[in-house]
Amino acid sequence: MLEQLLTEEGYSVAVARDGQDGLHQGLVGTFDVMVVDRGLPAIEGVDLVSRLRSRGVAAPILLLTARNTVADRVEGLDAGAQDYLAKPFDIDELLARLRALLRPVSALAEELPVGPRRLVLAENRVISGDGAPDVILSPREAELLAVMARRPKRVFTRDELLDGIFDGAETPGAVDTYVHYLRRKLGAGVVETVHGVGYRLGAE
């Protein structure tokens, strides 16, 4: 049923009938998201998740189960699952949870234009495309640049950037500091100061 449903939703679906097959497919294939039933034959679902994680498989995992105690949920999440859905479940909720798990993958795959250059978000790297060396950013620098690059004409206040990038955990001066870092690595024009308001992506 789930294979048909997910195929109709546009997913490319591979099915494993037991935990041993799931382990094999998970290790040799490349998946954006995995749905693992806890009650699998051969290798139980939580054990399967644990084995996949121990062997470096990083794809987000949604664990399906007929058990829904707190202890069961904790065990599944501690094994490496990102989400946990108890049976019986609503199909719309399952689809929404899968979309949520896929969202970070899509975000990390982004390449954003920064003037004539591109920000490769998954690698925190700015590619110039003219033969110049790539520029490696810190995760915080890349995130700040990405916020402005997604909306290049918008002026962001320091408070907006502080809440969006730093979760309000830093002082407003942290925004100025990271803007300085970006300018030092990418040139003074990469971020424009709009006096009395804040910052936006530079025009160059």
Residue where a domain stops, chosen among 58, 86, 108? 108
Does the model's pTM come out above 0.75?
no
Closest C-alpha to 81, from 105, 115, 58, 55? 58
Tell me: do 6 and 62 sit in the same domain. yes
Based on the structure, what is the number of domains in the chain? 2
Give the pLDDT score at 99: 87
- The structure tokens listed for 201 are 């992506």
Q: Convert the pLDDT of each residue in 7-56 to its tens digit.
A: 888 888 999 999 999 999 999 888 989 999 998 999 999 999 999 988 88
- CA angle at 139 for the pair 183 and 27, rounded to the nearest 5°: 145
Q: Which segments of the chain are extended strands (E)? A: 34-37, 61-65, 83-86, 111-114, 117-120, 125-127, 135-136, 156-157, 191-194, 198-201
CA nearest neighbour of 165 among 134, 128, 137: 137
Structural domain for 119, as ranges: 111-201
Lowest mean pLDDT among 45-49, 64-68, 143-147: 64-68
Say whether both 115 and 79 belong to one domain.
no
Distance of alpha carbon 52 from alpha carbon 30, whole angstroms = 12
Q: Tell which of 108, 141, 168 closes a domain.
A: 108
Residue 175's CATH number:
1.10.10.10
Q: Tell whether 88 and 127 lie within a shared domain.
A: no
